[in-house]
């Protein structure tokens, strides 16, 4: 990551405001991304409540998941054209500041260029290139001044290639690289996920949001914990020695997106892994999910 990006993030952190990510450029954008909204569990479903709570940073545990959901709180900063033209009958025109969202553009910038990282391992793409820039389709219409939460599959298993036809592996490729890395149980790859949403106004102008920079950590098993331990209370190696208890308490409330951001009990992580393995999506790590389970 370049020094300017880290400097902007550092200034954001030192501003005295809660760190929910940071807008690092774009003062005159037509849209703003305010933060990544934390989902709220409501019975068996999860809902995203506007501006209630934001994640300060994110974690994707690639031992459990190969996708990451990002839920930006997006604001259309354009005013209604009625406010510009006046309300008299002669000045009323078609509303041109409605924005039709088209895509979200992502870039992942690791904090280190060290060659001894999981990203230096061979992946599953052919040719074996590492995808760090991609786009995800978004379909939504924002009225002037409207704010909305838009859950987006920010890191899908695969994405449409930006350099050619067809698709390339993304989350699945990152997962494969981490799975081959010798020190995967200890290593955490930190970086910044840059997010920008692009659309078009009803007047035919292309518009883009401010670029939002979100600290994101990639790891292998760091969110898992045993029923005999408190989440994040032990070093990873110590947790895995005790991760043989695969019971899931009846009153356990699972995270809305297992494998990202929130601690996950070993037993549920193993069940998810076994299901993915049966669908040939991924292979279980026997250290977290014994073959006998």
Query: Is-contact 92 146, C-beta < 8 A?
Result: no
Check residue 9 and report its DSSP letter: H
Q: By three-state DSSP, how is residue 61 classified?
A: strand
- Strand 58-61 to 211-219 pairing: parallel
Q: Say how many C-beta atoms besides its own lie within 10 A of residue 277's C-beta.
A: 13
Cα–Cα distances (Å) from 268 to 43, 74, 103, 254, in that order, read 18, 33, 33, 8
**Predicted model pTM:** 0.83
What is the 3-class SS of 13-47, one letter each residue?
HCCCCCCCCEEEECCCCCEEEEEEECCEEECCEEE
Q: Determine the Cα angle at 102 with ends 96 and 104, to 5°.
A: 125
The mean pLDDT of the chain is 81
Q: How confident is the model at residue 116 (pLDDT cuts 50, 70, 90)?
A: confident
**pLDDT (tens digit, 9 = 90+) per residue, 149-186?**
999 999 999 998 887 778 899 999 999 999 999 889 88
Query: In whole angstroms, what is the distance from residue 239 CA to residue 221 CA?
Result: 10
Backbone angles phi, psi at 4, to 5 degrees: -65, -40
Q: Averaged over 60-75, what is the pLDDT?
A: 95
> Which sequence spans correspond to the domains of the chain?
3-219, 224-278
pLDDT for res 242: 46
pLDDT for res 24: 47
Query: Is-contact 152 138, C-beta < 8 A?
Result: yes
Query: In whole angstroms, what is the distance from residue 243 CA to residue 286 CA?
Result: 10
Which has the closest alpha carbon to 175: 275, 67, 69, 57? 67
Torsion of CA 26, 32, 34, 36, to 10 degrees: -100
């Amino acid at each position: 990551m370049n020094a300017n990006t880290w400097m902007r993030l550092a200034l954001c952190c030192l501003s005295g405001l809660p760190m929910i990510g940071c807008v690092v450029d774009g003062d005159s954008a037509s849209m703003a991304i305010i933060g990544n909204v934390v989902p709220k569990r409501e019975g068996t479903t999860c809902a995203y409540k506007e501006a209630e709570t934001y994640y300060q940073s994110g974690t994707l545990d690639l031992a459990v998941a190969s996708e990451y959901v990002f839920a930006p709180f997006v604001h259309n900063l354009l005013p209604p054209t009625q406010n510009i033209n006046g309300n008299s009958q002669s000045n009323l025109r078609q509303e041109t500041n409605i924005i039709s969202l088209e895509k979200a553009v992502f870039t992942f910038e690791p904090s280190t260029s060290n060659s001894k990282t999981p990203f230096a391992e061979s992946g599953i793409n052919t040719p074996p290139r590492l995808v760090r820039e991609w786009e995800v389709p978004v379909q939504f219409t924002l009225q002037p001044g409207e704010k909305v939460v838009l859950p987006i599959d920010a890191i899908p298993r695969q994405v449409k290639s930006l350099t050619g036809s067809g698709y390339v592996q993304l989350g699945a490729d990152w997962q494969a690289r981490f799975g081959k890395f010798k020190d995967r149980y200890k290593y955490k790859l930190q970086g910044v996920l840059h997010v920008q949403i692009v659309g078009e106004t009803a007047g035919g102008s292309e518009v883009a949001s401010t670029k939002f920079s979100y600290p994101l950590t990639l790891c292998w098993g760091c969110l898992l914990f045993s029923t005999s331990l408190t989440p994040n209370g032990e070093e990873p190696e110590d947790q895995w020695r005790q991760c043989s208890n695969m019971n899931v308490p009846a009153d356990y409330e699972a995270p809305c997106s297992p494998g990202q951001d929130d601690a996950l009990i070993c037993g549920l992580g193993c069940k998810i892994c076994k299901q993915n393995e049966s669908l040939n999506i991924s292979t279980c790590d026997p250290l977290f999910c014994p073959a006998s389970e």
